């Protein structure tokens, strides 16, 4: 007669495995729906540099499952501020404007640059904002460019116009309704490479003029630890894995994949 012992062991392992899976805490995150190549939607799924970094790191972090929801940036910030979601991916550190966020270790260093139509580069544009006086500049809705740009707008040196996406910005630059565009440098270069056919000739008329500032990005985590008690422990583990990814070259490999 066959011993029932192996069968009992099998069921015991199965039960323990199911218990371990059930104990994994779900960490909800929101990410920008329209910020290629950093975060965007492709074939109905979130993708991009930041999504890849977070998902690679999460595979090495025990006890948690990551769920990422793409949203318009301002909506994502609202979800965290209102306590519905604990984490927004790739926030700049702006403690005064976003007092509801704590931050992970730095993820990447972005360079904020200004690109302009060739028609406004016939004169020198070497210093920001002095050399950009009275120009109309497009930015993404909810994108915090930093003190330099905000002050230039407040002082009436430049005129900012906010858009939900880059296609409208490029179209208005082509039609002489905008002069320049401020965003992350890599994001603008990626957008220029992937313009829809009606705007393909725009890439030849828009040139990089000046880097304005550099900003680190972080996981922006809710300070509401009463609502999200698991958050501090998760961020601690995420920081450890993020730094290992920097050291062993995995971050560089992710960046290289999207720079092709």
Q: Which CATH number fits domain 111-214: 3.40.190.10, 3.30.470.10, 3.30.930.10, 1.10.10.10?
A: 3.40.190.10
Residues 8-28 pLDDT 10s? 444 444 444 454 445 789 999
**Domains 22-109+216-258 and 111-214 agree in fold:** yes
Query: Which region, left, alpha or beta, applies to residue 142 given φ > 0 means left and ψ of -120 to 50 means alpha?
Result: left
pTM of the model: 0.81
Q: Let me know: does 158 contact 134? Beta carbons within 8 Å.
A: yes
pLDDT in tens, 156-214: 999 999 998 888 999 999 899 999 999 999 999 999 888 887 777 777 899 999 999 99
- The burial class, CB within 10 Å (0-12 / 13-18 / 19+), for 109 is exposed
Domain residue limits, the chain: 22-109+216-258, 111-214
**The domain 22-109+216-258 is classified under which CATH number: 3.90.78.10, 2.120.10.30, 3.40.190.10, 3.20.20.70?**
3.40.190.10
Return the percentage of the chain with pLDDT > 90, whole number: 74
Q: Is the peptide bond before 37 cis (omega within 30 degrees of 0)?
A: yes
CB 89 within 8 A of CB 31: yes
- pLDDT 10s digits, 113-159: 999 999 999 999 999 999 999 999 999 887 777 788 989 999 999 99
Distance CA 237, CA 58 (A): 9
């Amino acid at each position: 007669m066959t011993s029932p012992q192996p069968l009992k062991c099998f069921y015991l392992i199965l039960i323990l495995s199911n218990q371990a899976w059930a104990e994994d805490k779900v960490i909800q995150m929101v990410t920008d729906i329209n910020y290629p190549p950093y975060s965007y939607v492709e074939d109905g799924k979130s993708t991009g540099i930041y999504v890849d970094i977070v998902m690679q790191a999460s595979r090495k972090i025990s006890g948690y499952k990551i769920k990422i929801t793409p949203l318009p940036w301002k909506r994502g910030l609202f979800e965290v501020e209102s306590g519905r979601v604990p984490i927004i991916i790739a926030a700049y550190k702006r403690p005064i404007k976003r007092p509801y966020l704590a931050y992970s270790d730095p993820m990447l260093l972005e360079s904020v640059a200004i690109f302009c139509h060739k028609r406004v580069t016939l004169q020198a544009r070497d210093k920001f904002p002095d050399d950009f006086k009275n120009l109309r500049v497009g930015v993404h809705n909810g994108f915090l460019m930093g003190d330099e740009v905000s002050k230039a707008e407040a002082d009436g040196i430049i005129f900012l116009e906010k858009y939900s996406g880059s296609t409208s910005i490029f179209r208005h630059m082509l039609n002489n309704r905008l002069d320049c565009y401020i965003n992350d440098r890599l994001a603008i270069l990626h957008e220029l490479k992937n313009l829809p056919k009606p705007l393909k000739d725009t890439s030849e008329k828009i040139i990089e003029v000046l880097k304005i500032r550099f900003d680190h990005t972080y996981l922006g985590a809710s300070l509401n630890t009463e609502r999200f008690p698991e958050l501090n422990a998760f961020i601690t583990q995420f920081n450890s894995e993020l730094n290992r990814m920097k050291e062993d070259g995995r971050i560089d490999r992710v960046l290289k994949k999207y720079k092709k």
